[in-house]
Amino acid sequence: MSALSGVRVLELEAKGPAPFGVMLLADLGAEVIRVDRIRNSPSEKPAAGAIERGRRSIAIDLKQEAGLAVLLELVAVADVLVEGYRPGIAERLGFGPDACLDRNPRLVYARMTGWGQDGPLAQRAGHDINYLALAGALYPLGSADRPPAPPLNLVGDFGGGGPFLAIGILAALFERERSGRGQVVDAAMVDGVASMLTAFHDLRSAGAWTDAREDNLVDGGAPWYRCYATADGGFIAVGALEPSFHRQFLERLGLDPEQWPMYDRARWPAQRDKLAALFATKPRSHWEQLFEESDACVSPVLTLEESTSAPQLVARDVFVRRNGGFVPQPAPRLSRTRPEVAAEPPRPGQHTDEVLELLGVSGARREELLSLGVVA
């Protein structure tokens, strides 16, 4: 039995952080039914990826009154509903929180947006880079002499978005065991990103962090916490953050720790230059071997492809093969109810008959729904 066995999640089709948050729940064993929109041809929806694994799919035309009725029937037997629309759209379509909680008072109604359900930007479009920008997370990233560098869409969609959505859902489910009542989870990426910056606000308040890029301990400013290019075009990541690790780092390089004070910021630029010149003299493999048996906190910077064969990740079975590629295993790991990579992602409407059967919809009503294009 999986950790979330018995939890039924109803997912309204969306992109980015909401599917990722639902993937985390599916990996932990939740039963997920995704409500897809009806398409004229399969080519209207890109091929599903691993992020959409572990679902069954029913395709419903939610603009039809009969389609809304089917959705609300699913709401009645669900524990969680997840939607990622702009604020007000679900209400306008007839399945906002009031309508759904009226049908099922124990429902956890989870909403995933970028800006949140209120505030001056609530109705505005945005993407990961915009949420990072306003939350204060984008400005510190990148080189001092260049514009800020977006960290893929890891920090917003897959950091401050999906995981915070899943945490909110799990907290609401836990609270429901005491109160017997559901509630609304308002998960906004801008909120999640701001929460992730808590430690940096602490550092800034203490005078230990500046707003300049490459001027701080962990933003590439410190010579012992940054990446360096190697002779073969590769990169080495140095994270010798503590004094004992810093000493090992220097000693492996044949440098005198007494001549390399860690916290003399005035000397950081010259130290960075010297280390950059040193690392550029040998290929990445040389530095990997040099630091292999040490606590100097030095690692090769691997590509996505290279990471799948890294010994540590191979030893922990971090990746599994799927459809000719690699898929990361679920995380975190549980000792008794260890999650596994769930079933392949479904095609829109692939399980419509199964889901209708779950609701007891069969015979004449099923045929009518299909003939009218309410479901597909």
Q: Is 98 an active-site residue?
A: no
Q: What is the pLDDT of residue 162?
A: 98
Given a contact cutoff of 8 angstroms between Cβ atoms, the answer to whether 158 and 166 are in contact is: no
- Largest CA-CA distance found in the chain, in angstroms, rounded: 85
Calculate mean pLDDT across residues 269-286: 98
Calculate mean pLDDT across residues 245-270: 96
Q: What are 112-167's pLDDT values in tens digits?
A: 999 999 999 999 999 999 999 999 999 999 999 999 999 999 999 999 999 999 99
> Topology of domain 8-196+321-371, per CATH?
Rossmann fold (3.40.50)
Q: What are 32-91's pLDDT values in tens digits?
A: 999 999 987 655 665 668 999 999 999 999 999 999 999 999 999 999 999 999 999 999
**Range(s) for CATH 3.30.1540.10 in the chain?**
225-301
Given a contact cutoff of 8 angstroms between Cβ atoms, the answer to whether 27 and 49 are in contact is: no
Q: Is 127 an active-site residue?
A: yes
Tell me the β-bridge partners of 32.
9, 55
Catalytic position from the list 61, 128, 157, 219: 157
Q: Is the pLDDT confidence value at 272 over 90? A: yes
| Gyration radius from the chain CA atoms | 25
Q: Is pTM, for the whole model, over 0.85?
A: yes
Q: What is the pLDDT of residue 323?
A: 80
At 360, phi and psi to the nearest 5? 80, 20
Given a contact cutoff of 8 angstroms between Cβ atoms, the answer to whether 153 and 127 are in contact is: yes
Domain 225-301: CATH superfamily is: formyl-coa transferase, domain 3 (3.30.1540.10)
**Range(s) for CATH 3.40.50.10540 in the chain?**
8-196+321-371
